[in-house]
C-alpha cells in the first residue's frame, strides 16, 4: 500500500498525484503537490487530517491560492483544498452561515441582494471565506473579522471545534485562527440595509479596483502597508515600478502588485520581491514585510 492508495481508501474525494500548484494559485505559478485533495465533506476533511497526523505527513491547506506564492519545487506531503463542496450559504435572520469554500465575491453579492450589509468592501477580494478569515482580509478601511460571530474548524488532531468571536483575535491581515485548524464554516452577523443601495456600493468598490489594479495574474498586494504609509508609495518612490525578473514585473499600474506577464516562475517573482525589499531598504531604511505567504520548495 502507498500513501495514495491508503488515503484514497478513506475518502470519497479523489486523490491526485503530482498536481501542479500553478493550477490552484492566482499567480499561476508553483510546482507539484505530492498529493492533492479537495475533500468532499467534513468527514473527508477529518480523515485527511487524522491520516496525515498518524503518519507524520505534512499537510498544507489552501483556498483559492490568491495570497500564495508556491515555489517551483512544489509542496511535499498533502495539499488539502477547501473548495466547492464547502461552498454554501444559509440565512438565519440577519446571520449568514456559510461554508469556508464559498468565494468571497459570491458571498458579498448574495448578502447585498438579500438586503444585508457589512460585506460590501470585500466584493473584489478573490479568495474563499476560509482564506479571508485566516488572513482577516480587508479593504477600504473594513475587514472581515468585524462581522464574524463564530467559526468552525477541524483541529489538527481531527476534532471539530466552534470558536466564538471573543475567542478569536483579528489583526491587520492576520487572525489567531491561523495554526488552530482548518476553517470549514463560519457565521457572519450582518445588518439590514436596502438591497439596491448595497448592490450599488459593491459595484462602486469593484469599479475602484478595476481603475486602480492591474488585471494580469497576481496575488494582490505583495507587501504589508506600514502605519500611515501604503507600501506601494515607498516601492514607487524607490523606482521599482516596471522592474522585471524573467516574466514577472512590478506593475506599472500599482507598485505593490507583482504581475505574471505570462510564463513567469515562482523564482522570478521571489527574486523581484527580494529586489524590491532591497531597494526600499537602501532608499528609506524600511524593512518591507510580505503579506503573501511563501510556501513550498525550491526547484
Ligand atoms: C487581484 C487580487 C486582489 C486582492 N485584494 C485583496 C484585498 O483587497 N484585501 C485583502 O485582504 N486581500 C486581497 N487579496 C489577497 C487574497 O485574495 C486574500 O488574502 C484572501 O483572503 C485569500 O483567500 P484564499 O482562499 O485565496 O486563501 P489562500 O491564498 O489559498 O491561503 C491564504 C492562507 O490561508 C490559509 N487557508 C486558506 N484557506 C484555509 C482554510 N479553509 N482553513 C485554514 N487555513 C486556510 C492558507 O494556508 C494560507 O496560509 C487580493 C488578491 C488578488 C489576487
pLDDT tens, position by position, 243-252: 999 999 999 9
DSSP 3-state of 299: coil
Q: Give catalytic status of residue 291 as yes or no.
A: yes
Find the catalytic residue in 173, 175, 185, 277.
173
Residue 106 has pLDDT above 80, yes or no: yes
Q: What is the pLDDT of residue 131?
A: 98
- Predicted TM-score (pTM) of the model is 0.97
C-beta of residue 249 within 8 angstroms of C-beta of residue 243: yes
Residues 251 and 181: their CA atoms lie apart, in Å, by 35
Calculate the alpha carbon distances from 145 to 9, 134, 148, 279 in Å.
Answer: 37, 9, 5, 34
Q: What is the pLDDT of residue 211?
A: 96
Q: Give catalytic status of residue 221 as yes or no.
A: yes
Per-residue confidence band for 195, with pLDDT thresholds at 50, 70 and 90: very high
Regarding the beta carbon of 64 and ligand 1, being less than 6 Å apart is answered yes
- The angle subtended at Cα 153 by Cα 152 and Cα 154, nearest 5°, is 140
Q: Which domains, from first to last, does the chain contain?
A: 3-84 (3.30.43.10), 86-211 (3.30.465.10), 214-295 (3.90.78.10)
- What is the average pLDDT across 130-151? 97
Residues 18 and 2: their CA atoms lie apart, in Å, by 14
pLDDT above 90 coverage of the chain, percent? 99
225 DSSP 8-state letter: P
Please state, rounded to an integer, the average pLDDT across all residues of the chain: 97
Give the model confidence (pLDDT) of 81-93 as tens digits: 999 999 999 999 9
User: Which strand (E) or helix (H) includes residue 196?
Assistant: helix 195-212
Residue 210 has pLDDT above 70, yes or no: yes
Q: Which of 98, 76, 77, 78 is nearest to 88 (CA)?
A: 98
Ligand 1 center–CA 184 separation, angstroms? 15
The total number of residues shown for the chain amounts to 299
- What is the average pLDDT across 75-80? 98
Regarding the beta carbon of 137 and ligand 1, being less than 6 Å apart is answered yes
Per-residue confidence band for 276, with pLDDT thresholds at 50, 70 and 90: very high
- What is the average pLDDT across 35-42? 98
92 DSSP 8-state letter: E
How many CA within 13 A on the CB side of residue 280? Answer: 24
Q: What is the pLDDT of residue 1?
A: 63
Ligand 1 center–CA 156 separation, angstroms? 20
Residue nearest to atom 10 of ligand 1 (CA): 137
Nearest-atom number in ligand 1 for the CA of 60 is 47
Ligand 1 center–CA 2 separation, angstroms? 32
Q: What is the pLDDT of residue 122?
A: 98
Give the largest CA-CA distance in the chain. 58
Residue 18 has pLDDT above 90, yes or no: yes
Residue 265 has pLDDT above 90, yes or no: yes
- In the numeric block, which cell numbers belong to residue 188? 457572519
DSSP 3-state of 275: helix
Q: Give catalytic status of residue 282 as yes or no.
A: no
DSSP 3-state of 257: coil
- The angle subtended at Cα 26 by Cα 201 and Cα 273, nearest 5°, is 105
Q: What is the pLDDT of residue 81?
A: 98
Residue nearest to atom 2 of ligand 1 (CA): 220
Ligand 1 center–CA 139 separation, angstroms? 13
Amino acid at each position: 500500500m502507498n500513501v495514495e492508495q491508503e488515503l484514497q481508501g478513506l475518502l470519497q474525494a479523489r486523490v491526485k498525484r503530482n498536481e501542479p500548484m500553478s493550477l490552484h494559485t492566482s499567480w499561476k505559478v508553483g510546482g507539484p503537490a505530492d498529493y492533492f485533495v479537495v475533500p468532499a465533506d467534513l468527514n473527508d476533511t477529518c480523515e485527511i487530517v487524522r491520516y496525515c497526523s498518524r503518519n507524520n505527513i505534512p499537510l498544507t491547506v489552501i483556498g483559492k491560492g490568491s495570497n500564495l506564492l508556491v515555489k517551483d519545487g512544489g509542496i511535499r506531503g498533502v495539499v488539502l483544498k477547501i473548495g466547492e463542496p464547502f461552498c454554501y450559504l444559509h440565512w438565519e435572520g440577519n446571520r449568514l452561515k456559510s461554508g469556508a469554500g464559498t468565494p468571497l465575491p459570491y458571498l458579498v453579492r448574495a448578502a447585498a441582494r438579500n438586503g444585508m450589509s457589512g460585506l460590501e468592501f470585500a466584493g473584489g477580494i478573490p479568495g474563499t471565506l476560509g482564506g479571508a478569515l485566516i488572513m482577516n482580509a480587508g479593504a477600504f478601511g473594513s475587514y472581515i473579522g468585524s462581522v464574524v460571530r463564530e467559526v468552525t474548524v477541524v483541529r489538527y488532531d481531527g476534532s471539530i471545534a466552534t470558536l466564538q468571536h471573543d475567542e478569536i483575535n483579528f489583526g491587520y491581515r492576520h487572525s489567531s485562527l491561523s495554526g488552530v485548524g482548518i476553517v470549514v464554516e463560519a457565521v457572519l452577523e450582518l445588518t439590514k440595509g436596502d438591497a439596491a443601495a448595497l448592490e450599488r456600493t459593491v459595484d462602486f468598490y469593484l469599479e475602484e479596483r478595476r481603475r486602480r489594479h492591474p488585471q494580469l495574474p497576481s496575488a494582490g498586494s505583495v507587501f504589508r502597508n506600514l502605519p500611515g504609509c501604503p507600501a506601494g508609495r515607498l516601492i514607487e518612490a524607490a523606482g521599482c515600478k516596471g522592474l522585471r525578473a524573467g516574466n514577472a514585473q512590478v506593475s506599472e499600474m500599482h507598485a505593490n502588485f507583482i504581475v505574471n506577464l505570462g510564463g513567469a516562475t515562482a523564482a522570478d517573482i521571489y527574486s523581484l520581491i527580494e529586489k524590491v525589499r532591497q531597494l526600499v531598504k537602501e532608499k528609506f531604511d524600511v524593512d518591507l514585510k510580505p503579506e503573501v505567504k511563501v510556501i513550498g520548495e525550491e526547484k
